[in-house]
Amino acid sequence: MKFRDFFKNRELIFIAEIGINHRGDAGLAARLVEAAARGGADAVKFQTFAPEQMFSRYGNSLLASDTTEKADFSTIEFFRKLRLGKDDYLSLAHLSKEKGLLFFSSPFDLESLELLESLNVPVYKIASSEVTNLSLLREIGATGKPVILSTGICMEKEIEEAVAALVSAGAPDIVLMHCVSLYPLPPERANLRRIAALRDRFGLEVGFSDHSPDFHAVQIAAALGARVFEKHFTLSADYDCPDMAVSLTPDQFLEMRSAVETVVSMMGHGRIDYDFYEKDVAKSARRSLYARRHIPRGTVLSDDDIAAKRPGVGISAALRDVLVGMRALVDIEEDFPLRMEDFE
């Protein structure tokens, strides 16, 4: 199946990134799902991981001094507290379906992928951090399910290799997400032109995974062609959670959705000809050709016989030169609209 098949091919798709904002509490996770439904989300996305497979016990030492002098389990312990179990995910998947939301997650290791497969998750998200983890990507592709691929901290060649790995393994559909892995994202670092560059380079649909504290960048992304939007999600402004600085409340999420829908509506169809809805304005505001003075029958029209006036209900002012030199077949009163059938 294609990614959009799960959303009845609607044009705009909004994903509430719950991630680890549930703090490892299944009850809070359920409240976040319910709030996401109220906030106008189409889908909720979680993060599934085994901390021991994500982090080296020497990670802090390596980052601080590029040595393995000291083992440190603090990061592993921190993320261990943020895990949810299989039964939790099963309950959340059922709740999401009840609320009309698509439930899916980002697996960060093979163990987590197997867990999500046992739940028959319909779509997979690949985090920017895993784009070069090609062995994991091939396993995800082999599930035969659509993939959303985040492209933060990625070079062009790395995205190319990731897409190739997914496609060759069997992924039926890939959506690339423009992403800048800064938390929060400063406006001058958003690089939103990358949306079109990704689409042109890879020929895939491109969305936007935003880490801004508000949703102004999302609106601009919509104007640039993004139609899939992912935004971190929280219960309220005072709810303490790991991604608090870049998360929207339910009311803010709903406001973002409305703002994006307005932007996309304003972008229109792009045709150069004016729209049908302007026809009444065109009729009253444009000019057509009128008799500047009384024109007796038999008169050969000169330019001085013709005036261009509103409303534009007769011969277009653009045809003025066509009428000059034609002979009047009838008397025409001053200020009457000129008609082609009255000339030869």
Own/partner pairs for 234-243, CB < 8 Å, 24+ apart? 234/21, 234/32, 235/28, 235/31, 235/32, 235/35, 239/21, 241/20, 241/21, 241/22, 241/23, 242/19, 242/20, 242/21, 242/23, 242/82, 243/17, 243/19, 243/20, 243/21, 243/183
* Cβ(318)–Cβ(293) below 8 Å: no
The token pair at 197 is 């560059």
Stated as kind and residue range, the H or E segment containing 47 is: strand 43-48
Q: How far apart are CA 75 and CA 80, in angstroms?
A: 8
Per-residue pLDDT at 241: 84
Per-residue pLDDT at 265: 94
Per-residue pLDDT at 171: 98
Per-residue pLDDT at 317: 95
pLDDT tens-digit profile, the chain (344 residues):
899 999 988 999 999 999 999 999 999 999 999 999 999 999 999 999 999 988 889 788 878 888 888 888 888 888 899 999 999 999 999 999 999 999 999 999 999 999 999 999 999 999 999 999 999 999 999 999 999 999 999 999 999 999 999 999 999 999 999 999 999 999 999 999 999 999 999 999 999 999 999 999 999 999 999 999 999 999 999 888 888 888 999 999 999 999 999 999 999 888 888 787 888 888 899 999 999 999 999 999 999 999 999 999 999 999 999 999 999 999 999 999 999 999 99
Let me know how many helices (H) and strands (E) the chain has, helices first: 13, 10
> Can you list the domains of the chain with their CATH numbers?
3-267 (3.20.20.70), 277-342 (3.90.1210.10)
* Cβ(184)–Cβ(157) below 8 Å: no
- By three-state DSSP, how is residue 108 classified? coil
